[in-house]
Amino acid sequence: MLRILLPQIVSDGRLDWAYAIFQSLRRQSVVHFDWSRVQSITPAGHAVLACLADATFEQGVQSKHTGIPRELKHWPSVRHFTQKELKETFSDPAIQNIETADFILCGNSTAQDMRFLESLESKFVHRLSEDIFFAAKLIATELMNNVLSHAGAERYYLYAGLWEGEFHLGVLDMGLSIPAKLAQKYSYPSHLAALELALKKGISTRRLRVGGFGLFYVYDFLKECEGKLTLISGKAQIRRYFKTGRSQRNELKHLLPGTWCFARFPLEGKK
């Protein structure tokens, strides 16, 4: 039985452990998840756990969970990942939904999630600067459209929340990856090149109408707000830290099915 030690903070930071889990689920019938190091879960971390719960069910893997901190057991993302019984059919992704004063997680399938956009406005419109709130709402809408138009995912997860002086927002799906989708129309030498291509204006696989603005807008608005962007799909990831000008771009050892897009906005000096 494979043992996986979860990180101290489950977040959109280093995600090697999550990629490894996806690969392990294809080869293992039982996986042991050790939660003994986990101290906190960020808004993005809850969405990652929701995706892992779906993947575990989809692969028919029995999971064993030990060391779960008592203070984390009440979260739906933890509860539904660690439940022992395997159901015959997928649960509605909405069972993962979380709504607190500072955080929203919504699971949905095959439709734009208007509830998320309504909650986003009611909770954060007066807590973010006008520019950041406008960018956040547009980014959420564009990322949802990308999932529904391109990824072909049966379910996806959106999150938004305040965390340690930042506003976090993102969309995660387990559908068709960006490299796989772009391969239908473009040629590129690597998965990393495909992600770089996807961030350019006008790059789209649509044939009958203009497209190619979703990820470009995400990139452009985060740059304007001096935020952070993490885009992971297939076997590559791109991380941009616009305030400092730093960037990280690399191929991954393991394949991530679908696309995970994480955005962070700084809150200092914004009101």
In angstroms, the CA 160 to CA 105 distance is 7
Average the pLDDT over 166-182 and give the result: 92
Q: Is the pLDDT of residue 36 over 90?
A: yes
Domain residue extents for the chain: 2-266
Q: Which CATH number fits domain 2-266: 3.30.565.10, 1.10.10.60, 3.50.50.60, 3.40.50.2300?
A: 3.30.565.10
Cα distances (angstroms) measured from residue 187 to each of 156, 175, 177, 202, 216: 27, 20, 15, 15, 19
pLDDT band for position 211 (cuts 50, 70, 90): very low
- H or E stretch covering 158: strand 156-163
Rounded to the nearest integer, the mean pLDDT of the chain is 88
Alpha-carbon torsion, ordered 93, 263, 46, 22, to 10 deg:
80
- Please tell me the pTM assigned to this model: 0.91
Q: What is the pLDDT of residue 84?
A: 61
Tell me the one-letter amino acid at 235. Answer: K
DSSP assignment of 129-146: -HHHHHHHHHHHHHHHHH
Q: What is the pLDDT of residue 30?
A: 87
Q: Are 86 and 60 in contact (CB under 8 A)?
A: yes
Q: What is the pLDDT of residues 223-252, one digit of tens each?
A: 999 999 999 999 999 999 999 999 999 999
